[in-house]
Amino acid sequence: MTKNLSEGKSLYLPRVAEITSIETIAQKEKLFEFKFQDSKELGHKPGQFVEISIFGIGEMPISISSSPTKKGAFELAVRAVGDVTNALHRLSKGATVGIRGPFGNGFPVDEFTGKDLLFIAGGIGLFPLRSLINYVVDNRKNFGRLIILSGSKTADERMLVNELERWQVMEDVELLETVDIGNEKWGGTIGPVTTLFSQIEIIPQNTFAVTVGPPVMYKFVIGECQKKGIPDERILMSLERRMKCGVGKCGHCQINGVYVCQEGPVFSYARIKKDKLTEAL
């Protein structure tokens, strides 16, 4: 398990963080920036998560949305779907929360060095993938091609639009978007994110594919990656939706003896098949 906790502190003891900015990014989604009161860095890797607690309400795991290259603060993009997240959405700038972590194993960025990268995001899967995308963008010379395929349910539900537009105009980033349902303003591709695979050509032996999104999307994305010739050990995904306590105690994320919060949430498809974790897909 990858742990990166404050020195000498229990993994059960939250650190106090202050909300320093809040940006509304969609109808039910906000991007929160936090700074620790002890002024220390979070010290995470792309793909890791934290446990955020709203005092008097509860706690839940949230994937980190900002790159480790962002110093002095970190960001969480959060959809309001339950007691904790709705309570977080009601907070204002200056409010404090508890943060435990970071926890889990992130994306193997060292293995990505010199390789072409194909990122596939579905819906709010773009939130955790944003951390990795911006890490690659900020260290661009260390990697080969960067291709981003992003899919949304509707044109009105596109996430992080300002960020998508920033990546779109970068000369060394290839971004393709699609929506399941368009509108009168949408002039792009319509269909699931797998529709975009026909628009790209890759060198499979030099490519890592990383996908984050709803579990129902994974088997179709995996199939398209395999058709492109990408080996199973280079098809990576996050199973972060199964987690709860973050430290392997509650058993909520356990699949056939594997604790997703400790050994994941990032797994290769080869590992998923080997350990029979396919029920998470």
Question: 199-252: per-residue pLDDT in tens?
Answer: 999 999 999 999 999 989 999 999 999 999 999 999 999 987 666 677 676 777
Q: Tell me, what's the pLDDT at 2?
A: 43
Q: Are 261 and 245 in contact (CB under 8 A)?
A: yes
Q: Are 104 and 266 in contact (CB under 8 A)?
A: yes
Alpha-carbon distance of 63 to 58, in angstroms, equals: 17
Q: Tell me, what's the pLDDT at 160?
A: 94
Tell me the CATH class for 15-103.
mainly beta
Kindly report the pTM of this predicted structure.
Answer: 0.91
Alpha-carbon distance of 105 to 74, in angstroms, equals: 18
**Number of Cβ within a 10 Å radius of residue 183:** 9
Structure tokens of 120? Answer: 């596939």
Alpha-carbon distance of 143 to 119, in angstroms, equals: 13
Q: Tell me, what's the pLDDT at 244?
A: 67
Question: In this model, does residue 272 exceed pLDDT 80?
Answer: yes
Q: Which residues pair with 189 in a beta bridge?
A: 178
Domain ranges of the chain: 15-103, 116-280
Question: In this model, does residue 159 exceed pLDDT 60?
Answer: yes
Question: In this model, does residue 29 exceed pLDDT 60?
Answer: yes
Nearest CA to 176 among 155, 160, 159, 197?
Answer: 197
**Number of Cβ within a 10 Å radius of residue 87:** 16
Amino acid letter for position 228: K
Q: Tell me, what's the pLDDT at 254?
A: 81
Average pLDDT over all residues of the chain: 91
Question: In this model, does residue 98 exceed pLDDT 60?
Answer: yes
Q: Tell me, what's the pLDDT at 106?
A: 93
CATH of domain 116-280: 3.40.50.80
